[in-house]
Amino acid sequence: MTVAQRPEWRRPGPTAEQRRNDLWIGLGMTGLALVSLTLARSTGAFLLGPPPSGPEQLFWTVAVTLPLIWRRRRPTATVLVVAVAFIAAQARSAPESQFSSWALFCALYTVGAWGQDRQVSRRLRIGVIATMFAWLGLYYAVMIDHIPADTFADAVGPVPPVLAAMVNGVLLNVLVFGFAYFFGETAWVAARREHELRAQAEDLRRSQADARERAVLGERVRIARELHDVVAHHVSVMGVQASACRRVFDRDPGKARTALTAIEQSARTAVDELRRMLGVLRTSAGTDAAPPTAGGVERIDELVERARAAGLTATLGVYGDPVALPESVSQTAYRVTQEAVTNTLKHAEAALLDVRVRYLAREVEVDVTDDGRGGGPTDTVGLGLIGMRERVTAHDGDLEAGPRAGGGWRVRARFPLAASTDRPVGPQREPDDRQQAAAAAEPSA
């Protein structure tokens, strides 16, 4: 992934926790430096020359290390104070140098990692490093005439001992300052990259949310088109029945009454479907997608046959007394089953497929299970889980879609039925012996 370059980005200041950590780091470094000073005075190894008084030694030790408590809040000021105190302490021959050197390293690293102005930060680090090497050169120039004659009495290498000592000191400082510069720059780049990745992740999240919203809106429009066809059908039936009623009204009042009853039922159904259509359209926008081919629960067996033709062991069971379903409910049940079977064929890598239609007391249920791995991608352009949920919700139903406890995947949709939908329209159909044997081998949901 390529990180977008945004030169105007500035690293946010340290958090409260980071400021507390800096306080403890600065205090800890100061405490260790004081311990190092005590040990150096105890050994009497004053490598820089005769030391100043004890209080001045304490002062320079604290002056070099204590500013680290502000290192991330004021990185520029911290590195300046530490660098000046470090040179002054060496000029005064303060014996503590180990933790003072680490404090200078930490200050240089921090201004590289946390400096707000990158140009100022870069120039400041280069200036401090150049000053340190200039001070090192000055120190060598002053001290070279004060080296005792017997200091290098045991030297046996091919390089002159004084030159070897000077080169060794230069190389050590190059390594220390180089790492301080490199790690500081790396830390700042890493923080910037993390910021950019977070921004890209947020953009991606918004893009995915917009895509899901567009998929929902497009599916709502497709649902509304199907419901529109249903409403148009019922209105047409009402017109035919009204015409028949008008013709037989005087001759056969019984037939006229039957026609009026049919008109009443069709009107109620049309109003109910119109309410659903307006419900799914309340937040949707237009789309040019073509409406899918209509289908109902009576065509679910075609889906099962298609699965068998694809090589799956597929079973279909119809339980309860089948009743006449509203056309939109029948279409939605078919669409949900169609999508579930399609996902099984495309993504699940399943061997068994079980489709069940249950007619319960006040609801109808379609249940599609398989023994595949589940969790395959859904088609955000077609129906998909978004479309299934929208369709089921439009009919005040419930949808369950997810992995089963025993393995495989399950899609189950329930649709409430009106109290008047209770007339049986056909016999109950269960799987035959071959299908029941295949279904029995499938793990239970």
Specify the 3-state DSSP secondary structure of 302: helix
Residue 382 reports pLDDT greater than 60: no
Q: What pLDDT, on a 0 to 100 scale, did the predictor assign at position 441?
A: 44
Residue 334 reports pLDDT greater than 80: yes
Q: What pLDDT, on a 0 to 100 scale, did the predictor assign at position 439?
A: 44
Q: What pLDDT, on a 0 to 100 scale, did the predictor assign at position 276?
A: 62
CA distance 421 to 323: 7
Q: What pLDDT, on a 0 to 100 scale, did the predictor assign at position 426?
A: 42
Residue 427 reports pLDDT greater than 50: no
Residue 33 reports pLDDT greater than 60: yes
Report DSSP letters for 158-219, one per residue.
SS-HHHHHHHHHHHHHHHHHHHHHHHHHHHHHHHHHHHHHHHHHHHHHHHHHHHHHHHHHHH
Which CA distances in Å does 83 have to 65, 77, 107, 168, 381? 10, 10, 8, 22, 63
Residue 237 pLDDT grade (very low, low, confident, very high; cuts 50, 70, 90): low
Q: How many Cβ atoms sit within 10 Å of the Cβ of residue 77?
A: 14
Q: What pLDDT, on a 0 to 100 scale, did the predictor assign at position 168?
A: 76
Strand order in the sheet with 313-319: 313-319, 352-359, 363-370, 409-416, 398-403
Query: pLDDT digits over 79-98, tens only?
Result: 999 999 999 988 888 888 88
Q: What pLDDT, on a 0 to 100 scale, did the predictor assign at position 47?
A: 66
Tokens of 154: 């045991």
Q: What pLDDT, on a 0 to 100 scale, did the predictor assign at position 164?
A: 74
Q: What pLDDT, on a 0 to 100 scale, did the predictor assign at position 262?
A: 75
Average predicted confidence (pLDDT) for the chain: 78
% of the chain with per-residue pLDDT over 90: 21
Q: What pLDDT, on a 0 to 100 scale, did the predictor assign at position 443?
A: 41
Residue 6 reports pLDDT greater than 80: no
Amino acid at 420: S
CA distance 227 to 394: 10
Position with higher pLDDT, 405 vs 20: 20
Tokens of 129: 């490093």
Q: What pLDDT, on a 0 to 100 scale, did the predictor assign at position 380?
A: 40
H/E segment holding residue 325: none
Q: What pLDDT, on a 0 to 100 scale, did the predictor assign at position 345?
A: 80
β-partners of residue 409 are 370, 403
Residue 235 reports pLDDT greater than 80: no
**Contact call for residues 34 and 58 (beta carbons, < 8 A):** yes
Q: What pLDDT, on a 0 to 100 scale, did the predictor assign at position 151?
A: 61
Amino acid at 78: T
Residue 136 reports pLDDT greater than 60: yes
**Contact call for residues 106 and 83 (beta carbons, < 8 A):** no
**Contact call for residues 321 and 335 (beta carbons, < 8 A):** no
DSSP category for residue 84: H
Ranges 227-231, 257-261, 356-360, most confident: 356-360
Q: How many CA atoms lie within 13 A of 169 on its CB side?
A: 14
DSSP category for residue 323: B
Predicted structure pTM score:
0.49
Amino acid at 1: M
Mean of pLDDT values over 198-203: 88
CA distance 303 to 287: 28
Q: What pLDDT, on a 0 to 100 scale, did the predictor assign at position 176?
A: 87
Q: What pLDDT, on a 0 to 100 scale, did the predictor assign at position 412?
A: 94
Tokens of 227: 């419901």
Q: What pLDDT, on a 0 to 100 scale, did the predictor assign at position 93?
A: 83
Q: What pLDDT, on a 0 to 100 scale, did the predictor assign at position 39?
A: 87
Q: What pLDDT, on a 0 to 100 scale, did the predictor assign at position 284?
A: 47
H/E segment holding residue 298: none
Task: Give the lowest-confidence range in 119-123, 191-195, 346-350, 378-382.
Answer: 378-382
Residue 155 reports pLDDT greater than 80: no
**Sign, Cα dihedral of 200, 193, 15, 81:** negative
β-partners of residue 357 are 318, 366
Residue 244 pLDDT grade (very low, low, confident, very high; cuts 50, 70, 90): confident
Residue 3 pLDDT grade (very low, low, confident, very high; cuts 50, 70, 90): very low
CA distance 412 to 231: 27
Q: How many Cβ atoms sit within 10 Å of the Cβ of residue 203?
A: 10
Residue 343 reports pLDDT greater than 80: yes
Specify the 3-state DSSP secondary structure of 184: helix
Residue 377 pLDDT grade (very low, low, confident, very high; cuts 50, 70, 90): very low
Residue 290 reports pLDDT greater than 50: no
Q: What pLDDT, on a 0 to 100 scale, did the predictor assign at position 199?
A: 86
Chain-centre distance for alpha carbon 174: 43
